Chains A and B, each alone.
Chain A
Amino acid sequence: ESLKLSKSTTTSSGAEMIMLSKDVMMDIFSRLRAKILCRLRCVCKQWRSLISDPFFKSLHRARSSLKPSLLFLQEKCCGTSTTRVSMSSLDFDGNHNFDFTFTLDSYVRFMPSKWELICFLGSKGKGFYVCNPSTQELVNLPNTPASSRATLDGIAFGYIKERNEYVLVNSRFINNDTVCEVMRWTDGCCLKNHSWKVVDAKCPYMLRWCGVLVENNFYWIRHGNKYDSIEAIISFDLEKEDFGTVMPPKDTFDDGGLWSLAELMGMLWLFGSPEDISTMDIWVLKDSKNYMWAKEYTIDLAGFNLGVRFISILDHKEGKILMDVDSEILEWYDVDNKCFERVDNLRSVPWSWSVLHTDGLFSLGNQ
């Protein structure tokens, strides 16, 4: 008895077509970058449908999320009304993945992000833009009643992995005029025609800068010079669509210091430095219901003797915290050995904003 192996079929020209099983093709494709897959979509109908198959996309997403890369963003004003935006992707070994450059008829402000999509705010009533740099898809979101805003205060952009869903929250509190709008979308949703949902809940305070999403809750730091420290962190529950407050760690907030929030490893982290940014205290919210904070690390920043102005936290893995210092250098902080390791193979790409980025095929519905 012989075994049959469906290796090949004959094409009209008589040549044997190579037929790898769907599983094997998916395995091979899942190892390729989205940009290459966009090219391979043009090979034949079968490949095209395989590459847009939701199951394949999730396989690809799972594999590429194990190997995030660094995305460096830069905006340059050209004349008075247009901005040239460049995005450059490098992996941690310094290999160049791709560049994506486009021109917009507005200024831009980048928002923190660390998934497949990048979100930023345009000026002059242009509202929000969402971009997948891997596939070079860019969409200007429909306007919102509150979109003619100029700052990022009270905005938040997040990703819910379980549902493969992105969420953008736009809340504003100015002179008792408070607005909160939410937009949520999944893969393939036609974003340019998508609509905002106006939420009844009233944002109780002015919020400072962009919020972060941790398990269905967005968190912001409250804006103001003098805190009533009990209500210094404001939350927005995405399911209940309501605002709340989170008690910060005791006796921590000082008015002149630099404070920021980040989502790392599925938890909310609070980073705080005094006015001179000589040290940085790092807390993690261990239990969000009982506001149990644990002070995990204190970093001595004296090594940066040139005077740090701003630190943004990009990642925390394998005992190291990745931070962007003044948009000039990237440093890994080793929490056990209490030392810094500079990421030094960045090929001198200049940047004004850096994010951790995963390659992916998330579609914004343009094609």
Chain B
Amino acid sequence: MASSTTGEKKILTLKGGDNEEFILEESLVLQSELLKNMVKEERVSSIPLPSIKSKTLVKIIEYLKKHAELTPSNKEEFKNFEKEFVNVVLEELLDITVAVNYLKINGLLEFCCQAVADRIKDKSVEAVRKIFRIESDFTPEEESEFRKETPEAFEGDLDDTTN
């Protein structure tokens, strides 16, 4: 299918996980390596992204728009936007990171990885398990060995919250 056009600008539809549709200029999605390849090679006009929540997609499209407007004169403003962009609950940040990695938006991926790293660096082991929804697969013996070896990983003044 050929891309539909209005004037000179090509328009593309992204479909989020809950079938919500987002119509945007094709030039914006070219920042995603994945979508760029799809648009160039398959000439699609609508791309379903069922595993990306609409809420996440809204955030990412917001970033793509801001990033496309980036000029040397609004660098400072963009930096502030980036800071605010990752200032969401950790669960949402991880959703965004997963989606950005999938869509291959490289600059944003780096920024998200740094944000995740900053957010988990002071967390206790238990909190990290809850955040990533990981169940320990160590035996109780191994687990108690860790607690003996690195007691500070499980107690002390670490952050137990998951947001």
Contact = CB atoms under 8 A, between A and B. Distances in A.
B116 A40 contact: no
The majority secondary structure among interface residues of chain A is: loop
B135 A13 contact: yes
Interface string A1-40: 1111111000111011111110110011101110010111
Contacts of B48: 1-3
A367 B120 CA distance: 24
A31 B132 contact: no
Contacts of B133: 11, 15-18
A20 B125 contact: no
A184 to B, nearest CB: 28
A40 B117 contact: no
Interface residues of A, number: 36
Given A18-B132, A43-B134, A5 B117 contact: no
B52 interface: yes
Contact of B94 (A1, A20, A33, A40): A20
Contacts of A23: 101
B128 A31 contact: no
B102 interface: yes
A23 B125 CA distance: 21
B97 A24 contact: yes
Contacts of A32: 117, 120-121
Interface stretch (B21-29, B78-86, B146-154): B146-154
Contacts of A12: 135
Nearest to A38: B150
A20 B49 contact: no
A33 to B, nearest CB: 8
Contacts of A18: 94, 98, 131-133
Contacts of B136: 43-44
B51 A4 contact: yes
A148 to B, nearest CB: 33
A347 B114 CA distance: 27
- Which of B138, B153, B154 has the most chain A CB atoms closer than 10 A to its own CB? B153
A264 B49 CA distance: 51
Interface string B92-116: 0010011101100000011001101
Given A11-B135, A18-B132, A44-B138, A31 B49 contact: no
Interface string A327-367: 00000000000000000000000000000000000000001
A265 interface: no
B101 A24 contact: yes
5 contacts: A2-B48, A16-B133, A39-B125, A39-B152, A40-B128
